[in-house]
């Protein structure tokens, strides 16, 4: 009689185990990653790109970085881009509130308040540019915006709407419309 009870107990446990496995498979507990969620991220992001001669070309820092697989875009929080000039000129520094680097690694959209600066160098005065929503093409060191822009090269100040700039020598900086300036002569 005890053997029959033991067989019934074992059969009951086997049946219950089989039912639990079936129930778990039906639930499908695998985690689905949403298409619009980041596939990798970083805090304290840093990237340095070199030119064909092994000299620094540009450098990108950000407080936070999130890469999205579905479009290959990299979203940046407080990005700071440095564009190096290997001709003795001071590098250009570009800081913004946020940014998005396209999958091609060339197009960088800087969103919100953006400050471009360059320290004084041998034949170039210090320069600060205040603007917003700047589009930067890294391969050609070109940037543009349709937003209001202020160019300060103490003691001079120029404002306008829309700007195009080439950061390589010869430096080309153009305000597009509604240009006003204040220049002080010595």
40-94 pLDDT tens trace = 888 999 999 888 888 888 899 999 999 988 888 999 999 999 998 877 788 999 9
Which segments in the chain show pLDDT lower than 50? 29
- In the CATH scheme, what is the homologous superfamily, with its name and number, of domain 40-182? Lipopolysaccharide (LPS) transport protein A like domain (2.60.450.10)
- The partner residues of 54 in beta bridges, in order of sequence, read none
pLDDT at 32: 54
- The partner residues of 173 in beta bridges, in order of sequence, read 165
What are the residue ranges spanned by the domains of the chain?
40-182
Find out whether 110 and 134 touch, Cβ atoms under 8 Å.
yes
pLDDT at 142: 94
Q: State the Cα–Cα distance between residues 160 and 175, nearest whole angstrom.
A: 6
Q: State the Cα–Cα distance between residues 71 and 135, nearest whole angstrom.
A: 18
pTM of the model: 0.76
Angle at 60 between CA 86 and CA 132, to 5 degrees: 100
pLDDT at 154: 87
pLDDT at 2: 75
């Amino acid at each position: 009689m005890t053997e029959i009870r033991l067989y019934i107990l074992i059969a009951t446990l086997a049946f219950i185990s089989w039912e639990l496995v079936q129930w778990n498979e039906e639930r499908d507990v695998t985690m689905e990653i949403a298409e619009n969620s980041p596939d990798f991220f970083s805090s304290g992001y840093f990237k340095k790109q070199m030119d064909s001669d092994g000299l620094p070309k540009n450098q990108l820092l950000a407080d936070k970085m999130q890469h999205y697989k579905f479009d290959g875009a990299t979203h940046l929080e407080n990005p700071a881009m440095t564009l190096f000039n290997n001709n003795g000129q001071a590098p250009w520094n570009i800081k913004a509130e946020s940014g998005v680097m396209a999958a091609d690694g060339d197009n960088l959209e800087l969103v919100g308040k953006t400050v471009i600066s360059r320290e004084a160098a041998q034949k170039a005065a210090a320069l600060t540019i205040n603007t917003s929503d700047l589009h930067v093409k890294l391969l050609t060191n070109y940037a543009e915006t349709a937003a209001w822009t202020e160019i300060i090269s103490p003691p001079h100040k120029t404002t306008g709407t829309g700007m195009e700039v080439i950061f390589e020598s010869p430096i080309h900086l153009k305000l597009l419309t509604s240009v006003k300036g204040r220049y002080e002569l010595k």
